[in-house]
Structure 1
Amino acid sequence: MPKTAAKENIEGIYPLTFIQEAMLMHSLESAADRGALSVRCVLKGQLDRDAFSKAWTATVNRHEALRSSIHWEDIAKPVRVVHKKVDHEVTFEVARNGNGVARPGLVLNDAPVGRLTLTQQSPFEHELIWDCHHILLDGWSAAVIVKDLIAAYESEVNGSDLALPRVPSYREYLRSLSSRPNSEALDFWKEELRGFKTPIVYESERKRSREKGDPVDERFAIDRRESTLLRDLARSNRVTIGAVIHAVWAVALAGASGNKDVCFGSTVSGRMADLEGIEALSGVLMNVVPVRVDLRRFRNTQEFLAGLHRKLASVNRFGHLQLETIIGQKDWKFGRPLFESLLVIENLPVESFTGGGLEVVGFRSGITSTYPLTAAVMPGDELQFTIRSAADLISNEHRQVLRTAILKTASLLSRGTGSIEEILDAIPAYEPPPEDFIEAHEPDPIKVSRTGPLKKGEVELLRIWNELLPQTDFDVEDDFFDIGGTSIQAIRMFALIEERFGKKLPPVTLIGNRSIRELAAYISGSDDEEEWSIVVPLNPEGTKSPLFCVHAGGGHVFFYDPLARHLDREQPVYGLQRLDIDRFEAARQSIEGIASEYLSEIKKVQLSGPYNFVGTCYSNSICYEMARQLLAEGEKIGVLAIVDSAPDGIDRRTAGDKVGRVTGMLKRGDLSFVGTFIKGRFITPARKLWRYAKADEEDREFKRLMGTLNRTAERYDWKPFSGVVTLLMSKSFYENPIRERITDRWNELAGGGLELYEVGGDHRTIFYEPDVEGLAKRLQACLDARSDTEPGVKIPNNGK
């Protein structure tokens, strides 16, 4: 290991926890190390520098965390190394006018990972500044160490023996944790997260900026009177002030977001282990656990506080499980984080205290967080709030709404009266401004690859990224962190890589291999891996006739993944991704040519019919043509399913429609059509030109390719088809005035008849959770029904 002492100086080597791995990933990935802590307090009294230095030596020797370093290079998994001895010192300096000298960053793999500085403000006042890192110490531990330091200083000054209780080793702590039965904890978390579907994800407010910038801190307090009322509320309901703070945060989040079922992270001390001396142990014992609060279950404040108090007791009891394990109890495949906000109650075991003639005041440990939104609350005569938010994800307007929501919630809850519904109605909700640059799109936003089909490893990594990331507009060469990936998601990604590739890699591998393409090459050990077929197995197992899902305009198929998961387990599902660039160039002159190429690949998987297809938007013409060619060859077609799409030749709105709409709006005094007209005719085309001008050559080539593809689809000659067309429509598409013209056109083409089903949901989200469940249910019913009938025979249609 680089930068470590000889083996004889190593006292212990420990694996990192899930949270520590996430901190390491974030520290290595980010230019600004958000894990760095600056613990500060003021020492009042006459200081003996020599005694203080000796006291620090005794404190370092007492605590393993102060003799630790983190190592990750050239090893399978990152570890924490505890050294028997480390070189350390206390720096003494005199305060100077101005902003001071910038402090250098900490080196995680060189012990000790920290610096202790005493800055003299006056002859009898010094500021203690202790730079350390959250990867080795939590806030509770920092307070414990400062108290031990002052106790050791008093011992040195008085010339007495240091009388402090024994500190258990980290090894003893791990042994204590391992003895705790996990089955009850797993059952608790599984039940706690059951049915949760409404995470508050801040990437949805706007796309993550590549220039992340520094976080923004907003500090305010609940005034003394209302803070007193909240403490009285806690006492009268026999709950802790911590439960009341959780209640305030839950209601404020629910009110500001409009979600009545919310989930946020909360810190637990991690000192629940049955271990003597646990309160004196330092390190990263704390854990972040989800707290789910479904406000629909409570009628009034009393019920709410009692229920939340019980919940928090269980959360603390079972909070020893790693966050990764807890999230694993929820079959969370929504492509979104479970939570993106964190509540930290700074109830640390330290106040103003004295020792060795020194009075210690103003202790603070600072805030570290990698979450987009963090609320740190300091209980006291006034409840002090610090709201730290990511500047690139949360706007100033949103911050102000959150602040108002917290203050309003505290005020209403402090009265102890009124229903939860009434309180929520009084909380201002954040209304995000309309994002003009977000336009209606196909359910195919992922670019994936500009050069053709993906390699086998890239296919599986893409599936993993789609499960983990809320964003979908990424390419196989995009940087994981640039498109919004977080350190916690990176840790989960490598757990999935181990599960699916059978290779155990350290998460820091991502630092040097940040894209799907680079990571796949690293995993395979070669850049020359044989390219995969355009037929991508989404669920290759099962006894039923396969379903082939054809890509939309962007060329990828992984927006079909949620659909495949909701279909019957015995239903094999394959995706057809776009042809490689050479074969595509040859075939793209006609839809007929593309369909022929795709059929040659499909027949490598399924030799004979009946064949089942599903397509949407661009691919409806390819699916339709493949079905026509197969029928011409004498093969059988099972289901030809088209989702929310029209064949060519549909005039979506006649001149009469447009005139009627504008006339109706004028009668109502609604002039919004003016803005819509200006945007459609001028603003949107200008933005497209601006984006094209700013794009790199690769992006431009991709856009040109898509333009050619669209023109090829426009030239397709829609000839009659002797089979049945199954048209599946989202609720928004079904209720659109153009539906009748679309169905008329499909009826003209489908010689075997048209089956029309409304499956719920919205056009933009029909392939994503939770809307995809209705689509899958109806599609599976059609597949099963058709398997029991002769191909081409129309199935009775009930329209639902």
Structure 2
Amino acid sequence: MTSTTPVHGSALAEVWPLSPLQEGLLFHTEYGGQGPDLYTLQRTDLLIGLIDAGRLRSSWRALLNRHPALRAGFHRRKSGRSVQVIPREVPLRWREVDLSDTDLTEEEALAEVRRLAAQERAERFDLGKAPLLRLLLVRLTPERHWTVMTSHHILLDGWSMPVMLTELAAIYAAGGDASGLGPAPSFRDHLAWLSRQDKEAAREAWRTELADVDGPTLVGPADPDRAPVLPDKHELTLSDALSDALTTFARRHGLTVNTVMQGAWAMLLARLTGRTDVVFGATVSGRPAEVPGVESMVGLFINSVPVRVRLDGDQPVLRLLTELQSRQSALLSHQHLSLPEIQRAGGPGAVFDTMLMFENYPLPPQEASAPGALAFTHIEGHQATHYALTLGVMPGRPMKVHVTYRPDAIDADVARDLLDRLEWVLEQIVSDPSVPVGRVGLVGPLERGLVVEGWNATAGEVPGASVLALFRARVAQAPDAVAVVEGGRRVSYGELDALSDRVAAHLWGCGVGRGDRVAVRLERS
């Protein structure tokens, strides 16, 4: 709706509802108190080339004016209903630091940028005061700058970031003028689409999918009162060969790489939890093709939904993956429902504390399109969740995976070891998709070699005589000693020797000679 009521000194343009994940993030931020806000996002980029700081600042201001979602502030009404209010204008939160007069080396300058970035992350956002976005520009030389963008996740998702940076480059190239881009599609249209979806049908679909799960899937201690803790992170870059093999495998069998990763993660999660019916969270894009221009919108579209995987040890891996993708595809039209609503419908079995994020986003400009244009070299980013364990996957060549974990819930060695085990599971899946799930090894070749060959090194000298010679010697030494006990009957070595002679004579009579292979079946009479 339209209003002229002032909000923090600016006229109010619109009031919107919240998307499902915005509702969740608002709750977590309010619940988190004054500790670290886990949902503060940050991205650091290097800009190479002559940069006009004034024009860059004007370009960011034009970007805020272009996308109403970037001007949102979040409030709860007396009724308890949460809304986002969109002022017509908001101030740009901009800061510049000049290091050009220092004698810092490139490495020292980057360390200073990281220190400044950490200060920005430590400053909590007041979700009621827009914009929930701050910009820091650090200058080392006229042709070398870093930009640090700090924002709250409630404002935008990973897909929105490259959309913004691509538009920013175009606006900067136009001298800070966004008029050449034409009207921007609005996040409001997506919220309107959400309001038209059949929630009851979605609840029933999730109720059916999560029926009879016998309890939550948790890797960390269940403690709802635990204060937020900033996570630690471990990373792994897969080889080009394995990255290519995963892509080829998925394409050959009509699967997505995301499905393959979900199946592999489920196997690891089963080992961690001791369960054969596991549930974990997945991030879905939430950008329906029915909304015009959705691929160019800025906002928080993503949603978190449960993924259930039943692991039958006798089932071939390929069938597991195929069935998993089929069930996930059937739920696509129901992924708009908020996670709390899904969990209310699904019951205790819908509760989990691990997440898989498949980060398949477009890229911002990597090279300047014209002299003086912007090009972004991504240096690093920071994002976190409240979950005990999160697996992030960045497709490409090479493919990159990382594990972020709460150190108060997961041991660092366990988290680091998960990446090596994941790599080994993926190698087995692509090499033989017909292998039964129960035969997929979760212990890598080096670790297995240590246990089986290293710690179990019990080799020693053995007598040179054959088994037959040892048997004959025992017959000669103690022919009356008991050799076999079966059903109360005792057979001595002498009797067993006589029996073997009779069997050999019978075989010789049938034309079977010494050294010939004979199939023998023993039956009880």
Alignment partner of 1:135 is 2:154: yes
Could you give the per-residue CA deviations for residues 324-349 of structure 1, whole angstroms, max 9, x where no partner exists?
2222322x1x4x76111111111112
Q: How far does residue 17 in structure 1 lie from its aligned partner after superposition?
A: 3.8
Change (3 A) 1:402 1:46: same
Alignment partner of 1:200 is 2:217: yes
Cα distance in structure 2, aligned partners of 1:10 and 1:329: 37
Equivalent position amino acid for 1:373 in 2: L
Question: What residue is the counterpart of 2:124 in the other structure?
Answer: 105
Q: How far does residue 209 in structure 1 lie from its aligned partner after superposition?
A: 8.8
Alignment partner of 1:327 is 2:343: yes
Equivalent position amino acid for 1:26 in 2: H
Question: What residue is the counterpart of 1:38 in the other structure?
Answer: 42
Residue in structure 2 matching 1:4, options 7, 10, 17:
7
Change (3 A) 1:181 1:358: same
Change (3 A) 1:326 1:273: farther
Question: Is the 2:42–2:150 contact (alpha carbons within 8 Å) kept by the matching residues of 1?
Answer: yes
Residue in structure 2 matching 1:146, options 136, 144, 165:
165
Q: How far does residue 311 in structure 1 lie from its aligned partner after superposition?
A: 2.9
Question: What residue is the counterpart of 1:88 in the other structure?
Answer: 92
Alignment partner of 1:76 is 2:90: no
Could you give the per-residue CA deviations for residues 355-395 of structure 1, whole angstroms, max 9, x where no partner exists?
45332222765322111111111112122122111111112
Q: How does 1:608-619 map to 2 (within 5 A)?
A: none
Cα distance in structure 1, aligned partners of 2:75 and 2:135: 22
Change (3 A) 1:70 1:382: same
Cα distance in structure 1, aligned partners of 2:286 and 2:65: 23
Cα distance in structure 2, aligned partners of 1:246 and 1:354: 37
- In the superposition, the TM-score normalised over structure 2's length comes to 0.73
Cα distance in structure 1, aligned partners of 2:385 and 2:433: 35
Cα distance in structure 1, aligned partners of 2:386 and 2:183: 34
SS at match of 2:7: coil
Equivalent position amino acid for 1:399 in 2: A
Cα distance in structure 2, aligned partners of 1:126 and 1:25: 36
Change (3 A) 1:44 1:185: same
Q: How far does residue 397 in structure 1 lie from its aligned partner after superposition?
A: 4.0
Residue in structure 1 matching 2:138, options 104, 110, 119:
119
Change (3 A) 1:162 1:212: closer
Residue in structure 1 matching 2:368, options 333, 350, 354:
354
Question: What residue is the counterpart of 2:521 in the other structure?
Answer: none
Question: What residue is the counterpart of 2:24 in the other structure?
Answer: 22
Alignment partner of 1:316 is 2:319: no
Q: How far does residue 66 in structure 1 lie from its aligned partner after superposition?
A: 1.6
Cα distance in structure 2, aligned partners of 1:288 and 1:397: 27
Residue in structure 2 matching 1:340, options 353, 365, 368:
353
Unaligned stretches of 5+ residues in structure 1? 429-800
**Identity over aligned pairs, percent:** 27
Cα distance in structure 2, aligned partners of 1:319 and 1:353: 36
Question: Is the 2:13–2:86 contact (alpha carbons within 8 Å) kept by the matching residues of 1?
Answer: yes
Equivalent position amino acid for 2:291 in 1: L
Alignment RMSD: 2.8
Alignment partner of 1:177 is 2:182: no
Change (3 A) 1:83 1:353: farther
Change (3 A) 1:245 1:426: closer
Equivalent position amino acid for 1:259 in 2: R
Question: Is the 2:220–2:353 contact (alpha carbons within 8 Å) kept by the matching residues of 1?
Answer: no
Alignment partner of 1:52 is 2:71: no
Change (3 A) 1:301 1:163: farther
Unaligned stretches of 5+ residues in structure 2? 445-525
Could you give the per-residue CA deviations for residues 684-733 of structure 1, whole angstroms, max 9, x where no partner exists?
xxxxxxxxxxxxxxxxxxxxxxxxxxxxxxxxxxxxxxxxxxxxxxxxxx
Cα distance in structure 2, aligned partners of 1:178 and 1:213: 34
Q: How far does residue 68 in structure 1 lie from its aligned partner after superposition?
A: 1.1
Question: Is the 1:378–1:384 contact (alpha carbons within 8 Å) kept by the matching residues of 2?
Answer: yes
Question: Is the 1:70–1:81 contact (alpha carbons within 8 Å) kept by the matching residues of 2?
Answer: yes
Question: What residue is the counterpart of 2:262 in the other structure?
Answer: 246
Change (3 A) 1:54 1:288: same
Cα distance in structure 1, aligned partners of 2:48 and 2:358: 27
Alignment partner of 1:219 is 2:211: no
Question: Is the 1:167–1:278 contact (alpha carbons within 8 Å) kept by the matching residues of 2?
Answer: no
Could you give the per-residue CA deviations for residues 118-153 of structure 1, whole angstroms, max 9, x where no partner exists?
222433222221110001111111221111111111
Could you give the per-residue CA deviations for residues 415-436 of structure 1, whole angstroms, max 9, x where no partner exists?
13342334445458xxxxxxxx
Equivalent position amino acid for 2:322 in 1: A
Change (3 A) 1:260 1:215: same
Q: How far does residue 18 in structure 1 lie from its aligned partner after superposition?
A: 4.2
Q: How far does residue 234 in structure 1 lie from its aligned partner after superposition?
A: 1.1
Change (3 A) 1:209 1:25: closer
Q: How does 1:160-559 map to 2 (within 5 A)?
A: 162-164=179-181, 166-204=183-221, 213-272=229-288, 274-296=290-312, 299-330=315-346, 332=347, 334=348, 338-351=351-364, 352-355=366-369, 356-362=372-378, 365-427=381-443
Change (3 A) 1:268 1:398: same
Question: Is the 1:209–1:392 contact (alpha carbons within 8 Å) kept by the matching residues of 2?
Answer: no
SS at match of 2:299: coil
